[in-house]
Chains A and B, each alone.
Chain A
Amino acid sequence: MGFEINGKTYETDEEGYLVNLAEWDEEAAKFLAIEEKVEMTDQHWEVINFLREYYNDYQIAPAVRVLTKAIGKKLGPEKGNSKYLYELFPYGPAKQACKIAGLPKPTGCI
């Protein structure tokens, strides 16, 4: 499975997550966002970039509770709450945002 943008192919697993994190780029993110029916704004990108940084630091995709807390710490309490994150990613911030960010499905995502 996978998709192709401008001649570059991206491999995905059966749930649509990128197989190879290193293949991720903004074009892939935009494509995955459309698949998830998410219209990307600066607020969305902020979360996506945060997730990529988190993964880079810790080598895992955070559980949603951990993501919420970590965002609150870094970007302020008005963003570190589930209401804000669910408004951006209605079908689950961990699941949808991780997919768009090219991360694997969060560990501890039940």
Chain B
Amino acid sequence: MSESTGGIEMEEDMSGTVKKFAFINRKAPYGTIYALESLEVVLISAAFDQDVSLVFADDGVYQLKKGQATKAVGMKNFSPTYRALEGYDIEKLYVEKESMEARGLTADDLIVDVEVLDAAEMAALLEEQDVVLSF
């Protein structure tokens, strides 16, 4: 890397310890900026080669819903970007079973492959993390 555009210098091999990061997404994709901001932080975090998990619960499960039509709300449909996560080596996506059921959703309604965990399994997953960031 010969050039940096910001004030931060990144070395290829500055990694030391790999930490377990979980990003929890609880809000609907549009109406607030949380979902999009979370996604951007996740994409940037990929540069640091950490162990990243994404969790979707409550209205956050709507972020992954197929067929988002955003023209009427005047926002860009950024849901296709979740499909790019695999290319960034972010492949651990979890949705909460209870949140899905309460909204009549199944894994087939989502644009990416996910693992469905119930609340107890989700709690166990979060217990294992070093860092939990909530959006």
Contact = CB atoms under 8 A, between A and B. Distances in A.
Nearest to B10: A110
Given A110-B5, A110-B6, A110-B8, A63 B43 contact: yes
B44 interface: yes
Given A92-B3, A107-B40, A108-B43, A62 B8 contact: no
Given A57-B80, A58-B81, A58-B83, A63 B3 contact: no
B106 to A, nearest CB: 24
Interface of B: 2-6, 8, 10, 40, 43-44, 46-47, 76-78, 80-81, 83-84, 87-88
Given A60-B43, A109-B5, A110-B5, 13 more contacts: A57-B84, A58-B84, A59-B77, A60-B81, A62-B84, A63-B88, A66-B46, A66-B84, A92-B2, A95-B5, A107-B44, A108-B43, A108-B88
10 contacts: A58-B81, A62-B84, A65-B47, A66-B84, A66-B87, A95-B5, A105-B5, A108-B88, A110-B10, A110-B47
